[in-house]
Structure 1
Amino acid sequence: MILVAYLCGLSLKMIGMPPLIGFLLAGFLLHFLGVQPTDSLDTLADLGITLMLFTIGLKLHLGDLLRREVWASTLSHMLLWVVLFGSFVLLMASVAMPYYSEIDFKTAALIGFALSFSSTVCVVKLLEENGEMKTRHGQLAIGVLVMQDIVAVLFLVAATGKLPSVWAPLLLALVFARPLLFKLLDKAGHGEMLPLTGFFFALGGYELFNLVGVKGDLGALVFGLLLSQHHKASELTKSLLSFKDLFLIGFFLSIGFTALPTWSMLATATVIALLISIKFFLFFVLFTRLKLRSRTAYLASLALSNFSEFGLIVAALSVQAGWLTREWLVILALAVSLSFVLTSVLYPAAHRIYIRYKDNLKRYESPQRLAADIVQQPPQATVLVIGMGRVGKSAFKALRTVLDEQVAGLDSDRFRASQLQQKGLNVCFGDGEDADFWENFDTSDIKLVLLALPLVEDSRNVTVQLINAGYTGQIAAIARFEDDREALIASGIDKVFNFYKEAGSGFAEDSLQLISQSTQSAPKHYHANEEDD
């Protein structure tokens, strides 16, 4: 399994496509070759999903779920999609299309409901790979996914008839356990105990919720949410990243073991997968009607335009109840896989597509702006630091000692920007990759822009937006590897600092000062002659 997953993933990566498409293909190929899945594969898949939901919770803010654009768009979209897709299924049944002829209205609505969900695994993977988890559209997409998970829990309770235990309300008391959880995380340190602590919280939350009859995945999400305000939340997320990505390969492989398709099943699934264009359109219209900017609505809608693995759970329950034939389980598994492929291919080009069709998309915008989308202009700034993480914040503070209020910061994480503002720092919220942002941001006084961003592609995208907006000052950026540095120079950035090389140089220079200081301050010592030596 590892061999085939590696070869397929590497092959797709070498031709410029996301490796997860290769993992999906590997699952179907292994099934075709007669390889039987083991229980360990399901265990890996479950671990991956649990860790992923836990890390989502670490990056989530409860206030995001309470925003009208999150809960109203989620519920409205599900209702409209069920009506439209159910009507499509009944239309296919009326003309006696294969696999549709025996489906009634109730079953059509059930299939529509199953496909109304978007894939948490696929969306989070795409957002993480593009460094957009904490952007406006990234947080909007995550909020919608969490709301969908809550609806999924309610559905499973109703469908299975398994009510939560009478002890379930006691889970609310977990809020009072936060100080204890914070203390445990503090004591974990920074070594191997940190990821182990993450596993303990994620799996412990899963088992605790499962123990009282509530969906375990929700427990992992809640425990992550409880720890999201801890100062080590970001470090904990990074320590679990490799484990989560490795285990999620098991999830993508497991989809291919659902069943072997026929050509007619593949054709049916392809038609269903193409309907995600309607899913995109519904999300976009709803988001813009809720006064979100066209770019935010467009990117969030594109990320959410896929089908969820939850659809397979609903399909399996329907097959057990005799509402669907087993062929539909295969068709939906193929449709889910194809939707992953479509989203994974389209989303990396999302920013370029938006720039090309920006004028057309902006016609759907509401003239009113939500408070969260109003651009803030830092006063008297001549230097702008984009990305206020550890590197950006250090650069900002160093420049501030020289330039005082003439240096400003910009970050796409609203909560981080807000926290820095509360400390009296000249920092504003904004997404540097947002073309609309730069149209409303005056760069005429900015002489230097520092790109303290973790991903090379992000720095390149910001540079393009700055140039397109008419910025004529200097641009500096950071890179971790030499090939990244060369790529950034080629994109038009004036100066690129190799992160590790510059850190080593700075360390050496500061350390040499110790010698000069000790030489100047130390008393003269007796020097031994050659005989003494």
Structure 2
Amino acid sequence: MEHANTQFLEIVLLLGGGIVAGTLFKRIGLGTVLGYLAAGIAMGPLLGLIRDGEKILHIGELGVVFLLFIIGLELKLSRLWALRRQIFGLGAAQVIVTGALIGSAAFLMGFSVPAALVIGSGLALSSTAFGLQILEEQGETNTRHGQAAFSVLLFQDLAVVPILAMIPFLAPYSSDTEISLAQIAISAAAVVGLIVGGRFLLNPLFRIMASAGAREVMLGAALFVVLGSAMLMAAAGFSMAMGAFIAGVLLAESSYRHELEANIEPFRGLLLGLFFIGVGLSIDLDVLASDWLVILLAAPMMMATKAALLYGLSRIFGEGHESALRVSALLSQAGEFGFVIFSAAAADRVFSAEVSSLLIAITTLSMALTPLSTYLATLAISRGEDEDEEQMDEDFAGAGSDVLLIGFSRFGQIVAQVLLSSGRDVTILDSSAERIRTATNFGFRIFFGSGMRKDVLEAAGIRRAKLVAICTNKQETTNRIVDLIREEFPNVKLYVRAYDRVHALALRARGVDYEIRETAESALAFGGATLTSLGVEETLSRRIVDDVRRRDAQRLKLQESEGYSAGADMMVTRAVQPEPLVEPHAALQAVENAGDGSERLGEVIDETAPLRRRRGRPFQGRRLSFRKKAER
């Protein structure tokens, strides 16, 4: 009984310490990972409240297994193909070059070849948790450097699987060093069996369980698939993480993917947090105390090396100076998978536990320095912009009109054409010296300056402007300008170019007067032209486009009040043929008699919806199959 009470006390301490430290470190911007590590160090080496760190670490390793399963679920082939150059080009080059350089340095410092290989591979990886968290907090996930950073992190996550798989073969005392043909055959058969079973059995299995309607059964099935595939791969000589990853990839295209991810996510978060606490419990403070100078020197040197390599590789793979600088600063730290790799290597005696503690300390310090490195990159970019601004004089003589247009890229140029063609005087503001010089050659008068500076907006005549049109390229730049104007000049009207639907909703939340997605109208025009080319009468094509525009605006308004997932039934997902209870000719005649008003078209389509619903089928949006009169 006393032993049971002790175990319950340890569980309470683990939960309480993780909650307090995770919340505190998240609030101060260092992330929950470092919070869990700090909690483990405090409860273990410092206070001695929990002593069995190795046991907790082994339980927490299931969090890594679940994490790799979720990574596999996100790995659709279409997504890989769209980012293939950045993932398998920039990402692969970063891991290979960085790992080779750091591994070579470790070998020259006296480590064995297997140890140097593990050290180089582990330190080459960056923190997925830190990188994605910073991108999301700053609204930069969909920017160019955000996509590049995500691609590198995605390849690094993929690289974890073979790195973990190679550790047993590098172990000097492992029984796996002598591999028989039978063992190779068993391993290959296990992989093939998992792939075949996942391909032909998993989806039918989940379909049967989903039809039963028992949520706890689906939850148990999700855990069974992850742990079963992990144990199969472990029995075949691979890592458990590799099995979970393969199972995730096999289910990436499944219609039950989101249900699986929702079921696994709580276990993943809890067990991964437990793993990081276990890492903290296992750190040898005596090693840290004796090697503190090495740690303080090694962490910044490692970060500088990774940043320099990342910057050079990013430029080679087509990134601009600013994007490359942001990516290199964001991913210069070592990552949480280093804890997994170094702990596994120490367990297999590739190197000692003292070396593992030293590497984990270096990794931890580099993660703690990440906010500082990203701040320095932002500062360097800002200084570069200031230097660029100094190349031209900020001369605002003659500025001040009814419309202040900020940003003269391709979108802003077309907006300016409309305004100028109407006889309206427009004050155009842009921060690119090269763009201004090019536009000046065509006779435009553009004022040089940044819309993110209050003094520039004042000089450009914002107090006299009836309307400000923000047409800047970058989402984060647009947001900063909107926030500045809303705070300093709250009465001015704001018409803003949105990057995408999510950005449009964010702009509405900021209180802009009008926003439009940069590709919305061009896509509608393109679709209308396509219909006309396919033989649909131009008048009917225009009515269809107007109806799509109307429904899209209604859906956006619904999402504004109810969330991004609202209004999904308003989207057209597949072509619908008229059903027997709907007279195709009568429906077409009603549309053609509706006149030019899109409102009437929507009413006619709405009137046909109940007829379709009588058949007991879900109505996927409001659609009709249109044919010309001549074809009837």
TM range (shorter): 0.5 to 0.7
Task: Give secondary structure in 2 for the equivalent of 1:285.
Answer: helix
Aligned counterpart, 1:207: 231
How far is the alpha carbon of 1:165 from its aligned partner? 2.3
Aligned residues: 405
Q: Does 1:464 align with 2:480?
A: yes
How far is the alpha carbon of 1:285 from its aligned partner? 1.9
Q: Does 1:30 align with 2:43?
A: yes
Query: Which aligned pairs between 1:80-91 and structure 2 lie closer than 5 A?
Result: 80-86=97-103, 88-89=105-106
What is the CA–CA distance in structure 2 between the aligned matches of 1:171 and 1:39, rounded to whole Å?
30
Q: Does 1:335 align with 2:362?
A: yes
How far is the alpha carbon of 1:40 from its aligned partner? 6.4
Contact 1:201/1:223 (8 A) holds in 2? yes
Q: Does 1:198 align with 2:212?
A: no
Aligned counterpart, 1:473: 495
How far is the alpha carbon of 1:473 from its aligned partner? 0.9
Contact 1:54/1:223 (8 A) holds in 2? yes
Contact 2:65/2:230 (8 A) holds in 1? yes
Aligned counterpart, 1:137: 148
Task: Give, as a single letter, the amino acid of the residue that structure 2 aligns with 1:258.
Answer: S
TM-score by length of 2: 0.52
Q: Does 1:282 align with 2:305?
A: no
Of the three residues 187, 190, 205, the one matched with 1:165 is 187
What is the CA–CA distance in structure 2 between the aligned matches of 1:233 and 1:201, rounded to whole Å?
12
> 1:132/1:43 Cα in 2 relative to 1: closer, same or farther (>3 Å)?
farther
How far is the alpha carbon of 1:167 from its aligned partner? 1.8
Task: Give secondary structure in 2 for the equivalent of 1:281.
Answer: helix
Task: Give, as a single letter, the amino acid of the residue that structure 2 aligns with 1:57.
Answer: G
> 1:143/1:326 Cα in 2 relative to 1: closer, same or farther (>3 Å)?
closer
What is the CA–CA distance in structure 2 between the aligned matches of 1:137 and 1:190, rounded to whole Å?
41
How far is the alpha carbon of 1:49 from its aligned partner? 1.7
What is the CA–CA distance in structure 1 between the aligned matches of 2:305 and 2:265, rounded to whole Å?
33
Task: Give, as a single letter, the amino acid of the residue that structure 1 aligns with 2:87.
Answer: V
Task: Give, as a single letter, the amino acid of the residue that structure 2 aligns with 1:338.
Answer: L
Q: Does 1:71 align with 2:92?
A: no
Q: Summarize deviations over 1:166-211 as a string: whole Å, max 9, x none.
A: 5233333233446425625754759555544433332233223223
> 1:307/1:144 Cα in 2 relative to 1: closer, same or farther (>3 Å)?
same
Of the three residues 236, 248, 257, the one matched with 2:272 is 248
> 1:154/1:6 Cα in 2 relative to 1: closer, same or farther (>3 Å)?
closer
Q: Summarize deviations over 1:294-332 as a string: whole Å, max 9, x none.
A: 566555544433324554565557657877454322211
Task: Give, as a single letter, the amino acid of the residue that structure 2 aligns with 1:2.
Answer: L
Query: Which aligned pairs between 1:85-484 and structure 2 lie closer than 5 A?
Result: 85-86=102-103, 88-89=105-106, 93=109, 103=111, 107-108=115-116, 110-120=118-128, 122-123=130-131, 136-137=147-148, 139-156=150-167, 158-160=169-171, 161=176, 163=184, 165-168=187-190, 169-173=192-196, 174-177=198-201, 179-180=203-204, 183=207, 186-187=210-211, 191-234=215-258, 236-261=260-285, 262-274=288-300, 275-292=302-319, 297-312=324-339, 315=342, 324-343=351-370, 356=382, 463-464=479-480, 472-473=494-495
Kindly name which structure, 1 or 2, has the bigger radius of gyration based on alpha carbons: 2
Contact 2:149/2:327 (8 A) holds in 1? yes
Q: Does 1:50 align with 2:62?
A: no
How far is the alpha carbon of 1:272 from its aligned partner? 2.1
Structure 2 unaligned residues grouped into runs of 5+: 1-13, 389-408, 416-451, 453-467, 486-492, 500-504, 516-555, 567-632
Contact 1:136/1:296 (8 A) holds in 2? no
What is the CA–CA distance in structure 2 between the aligned matches of 1:280 and 1:476, rounded to whole Å?
32
What is the CA–CA distance in structure 2 between the aligned matches of 1:295 and 1:210, rounded to whole Å?
44
Task: Give secondary structure in 1 for the equivalent of 2:225.
Answer: helix
> 1:40/1:122 Cα in 2 relative to 1: closer, same or farther (>3 Å)?
farther
What is the CA–CA distance in structure 2 between the aligned matches of 1:350 and 1:295, rounded to whole Å?
13
What is the CA–CA distance in structure 2 between the aligned matches of 1:57 and 1:318, rounded to whole Å?
24
How far is the alpha carbon of 1:344 from its aligned partner? 5.7
How far is the alpha carbon of 1:44 from its aligned partner? 4.9
Task: Give secondary structure in 1 for the equivalent of 2:369.
Answer: helix
Contact 2:54/2:278 (8 A) holds in 1? no
Q: Which segment is superposed worse, 326-335 or 16-25?
A: 16-25
> 1:46/1:244 Cα in 2 relative to 1: closer, same or farther (>3 Å)?
same
What is the CA–CA distance in structure 1 between the aligned matches of 2:353 and 2:561, rounded to whole Å?
60
> 1:228/1:110 Cα in 2 relative to 1: closer, same or farther (>3 Å)?
closer
Contact 1:71/1:147 (8 A) holds in 2? no
Structure 1 unaligned residues grouped into runs of 5+: 94-101, 363-374, 382-434, 436-445, 450-457, 478-484, 508-533
Task: Give, as a single letter, the amino acid of the residue that structure 2 aligns with 1:276.
Answer: M
What is the CA–CA distance in structure 2 between the aligned matches of 1:268 and 1:119, rounded to whole Å?
22
How far is the alpha carbon of 1:276 from its aligned partner? 1.6
What is the CA–CA distance in structure 1 between the aligned matches of 2:68 and 2:42, rounded to whole Å?
28
Task: Give, as a single letter, the amino acid of the residue that structure 2 aligns with 1:80.
Answer: V
How far is the alpha carbon of 1:75 from its aligned partner? 4.1
Contact 2:86/2:317 (8 A) holds in 1? yes
Contact 1:64/1:139 (8 A) holds in 2? no
Task: Give, as a single letter, the amino acid of the residue that structure 2 aligns with 1:117.
Answer: L
How far is the alpha carbon of 1:51 from its aligned partner? 2.1
Q: Summarize deviations over 1:420-444 as a string: whole Å, max 9, x none.
A: xxxxxxxxxxxxxxx9xxxxxxxxx
> 1:259/1:175 Cα in 2 relative to 1: closer, same or farther (>3 Å)?
same
Q: Summarize deviations over 1:336-370 as a string: whole Å, max 9, x none.
A: 212222236656x69956863676999xxxxxxxx
How far is the alpha carbon of 1:15 from its aligned partner? 3.4
What is the CA–CA distance in structure 2 between the aligned matches of 1:251 and 1:133, rounded to whole Å?
27
What is the CA–CA distance in structure 1 between the aligned matches of 2:376 and 2:218, rounded to whole Å?
35
What is the CA–CA distance in structure 1 between the aligned matches of 2:166 and 2:216, rounded to whole Å?
39
Q: Summarize deviations over 1:82-115 as a string: whole Å, max 9, x none.
A: 4433454467x5xxxxxxxx54677545533332
Contact 2:315/2:321 (8 A) holds in 1? yes
The CA RMSD measured in Å over matched residues stands at: 5.0
How far is the alpha carbon of 1:155 from its aligned partner? 2.0
Q: Which segment is superposed worse, 28-37 or 159-168?
A: 159-168
Task: Give, as a single letter, the amino acid of the residue that structure 1 aligns with 2:296.
Answer: T
Contact 2:37/2:279 (8 A) holds in 1? yes
Task: Give secondary structure in 2 for the equivalent of 1:473.
Answer: strand
Q: Which has the higher contact order (CA 8 A, sep 6+)?
A: 1
Task: Give secondary structure in 2 for the equivalent of 1:165.
Answer: helix
Contact 2:170/2:350 (8 A) holds in 1? no
What is the CA–CA distance in structure 1 between the aligned matches of 2:313 and 2:498, rounded to whole Å?
39
Aligned counterpart, 1:366: none
How far is the alpha carbon of 1:158 from its aligned partner? 3.0
How far is the alpha carbon of 1:22 from its aligned partner? 1.9
Of the three residues 2, 15, 25, the one matched with 1:12 is 25
What is the CA–CA distance in structure 1 between the aligned matches of 2:292 and 2:154, rounded to whole Å?
32
Contact 1:295/1:354 (8 A) holds in 2? no
Task: Give secondary structure in 1 for the equivalent of 2:52.
Answer: coil
How far is the alpha carbon of 1:212 from its aligned partner? 2.7
What is the CA–CA distance in structure 2 between the aligned matches of 1:61 and 1:313, rounded to whole Å?
25
Task: Give, as a single letter, the amino acid of the residue that structure 1 aligns with 2:98.
Answer: W
Contact 1:53/1:217 (8 A) holds in 2? yes
Q: Summarize deviations over 1:249-290 as a string: whole Å, max 9, x none.
A: 112212212233333423212322211222122123213312
> 1:51/1:108 Cα in 2 relative to 1: closer, same or farther (>3 Å)?
closer
